[in-house]
Amino acid sequence: MAENKASFKDTFAAKVGKFASSRFVRAIMDAGYSVIAFSIVGAFFLILTVLPQVFTFPGFKEFYAETLGRFVNLFQVVYNSTMGILALVFSGTFAYSYTKIYQQEEKLDLSPVNGLMMFMMGMFITVPQLVWKSGSVQFVQSLKADSIIGGGYAVSASGISRLGAVGIFTGLVVAWITVQIYRYTIKHNWRIKMPASVPAGVSNSFSSLIPAFMVAIVIALLNLIMVMFGTDLFNVLYIPFSFINNIADSWWGFLIIIFLIHFLWWFGIHGATIMSSFYTPIVLANMADNVKGASHFFAGDPMNAFVIIGGSGATLGVAIWIATRAKSAQLKELGKVEIVPAFFNINEPLLFGLPIVYNINLLVPFICAPLASGIVGYIAVSTKLVHKIIIQQPWPTPVGISGYIATTSWTGAVLSIVCAIVAFVVWYPFIKHYDNTLYKKEQAGAAE
């Protein structure tokens, strides 16, 4: 039986590990990292626009109107230039990284920059809204207050609608198609070759000519088929994204995501990396919606703000306790190493040094503690007891500060601390028992 269990562990870990190291997931992770700087810059200028909502004491609103309030529209322009083009940034980085991975690993004569540019072309083919009317393709036009569309381009105060977070899923699919077409054509030598004496820049532009034509034809043809059926490629691809989004934003979908992150981590697989490759487009889109007035909980970075405080497993309280209260020499030394990183949501020393990975004694609190903090966070935000998340804070942001930045509210800071305490309450009986067990073993070993 033990051999079968070990075999299952090894097989499961190998399969999930293979998926985690796949080209697609690695490119997705690069794309996720690329938007961090953009979201932080956008968040800064968003904060400048919502200051009157944050500071409500008498006189501040009037003071703001006479000072920073004069530049609100400029702040909005900067915000739109970051969060308003997330589909291009996220999916464009994916296309660049995905092309580069194929270039390096399959030794193909691909140019990541060309992959990015071809994606941009393909993406903009899907942006204008078209309609099949009177036997021809025509641009959608609308001057209604809630639907301004000119030349097929839907615009709002946030810029061109389909280039924002709402277009990330479509962008990913277009980027995947683009890179696969580019890879296929180069692999089968469908390109214009130039003499060796021709400069590399000129040669690269001609070698991508046929792939670019193929990308344009395929994306345009797919879009045309959809238009003739009364929709378009963007709307068709947005349907599954909306469906997945609705599931992830529900309380049970959110808890499933938390469970899977920690279930995978227990096998030594970076669960946060794998799961975030799926939900990153969702939280970015939801965060953009929240800024416009929606009320999603699963937006920005709710995990590091309210769930896995101290790192996966919500182990901040554990790190503090073993550093200050543990009797076991092993745990005391580990606590000294982990106490500072834990405040910045880094807990690999605990995961592999406590250890938590493959440790059946700590499996229950490792999964249940973040589930408990997640439930508290979800209820507090969804009932509007705490302000919704409108900013994606950097993941190493310490407890309290992370909740404040995410929600631009002191209630978010309090919730972050409460969630950390709730998680430790779950951890306490297990870590105390584990400490006593190790201490007894150390004492027995010393006596011998």
**pTM of the shown model:** 0.76
What beta strand segments (E) does 141-223 contain?
Answer: 142-144, 147-150, 153-156, 159-160
Residues 6+ apart with CB under 8 A from 117: 208
- For the segment 339-372, what is each residue's pLDDT rounded down to a tens digit? 999 999 988 889 888 889 888 889 999 999 999 9
Among 269, 282, 321, 306, which Cα is nearest to 406's?
A: 306
The predicted-structure confidence for 4-16, as pLDDT tens digits, reads as follows 555 666 676 677 7
| Strand extents, DSSP E, 316-438 | none
Q: What share of the chain has pLDDT > 70, as a percent?
A: 93
Chain mean pLDDT for the chain:
87
Cα–Cα distances (Å) from 420 to 21, 107, 183, 307, 318, in that order, read 31, 48, 47, 8, 10
pLDDT tens per residue, range 28-71: 888 877 877 787 788 788 888 878 876 777 888 889 888 988 99
CA 59 – CA 53 distance, rounded (Å): 13
d(C-alpha 13, C-alpha 296), whole Å: 33
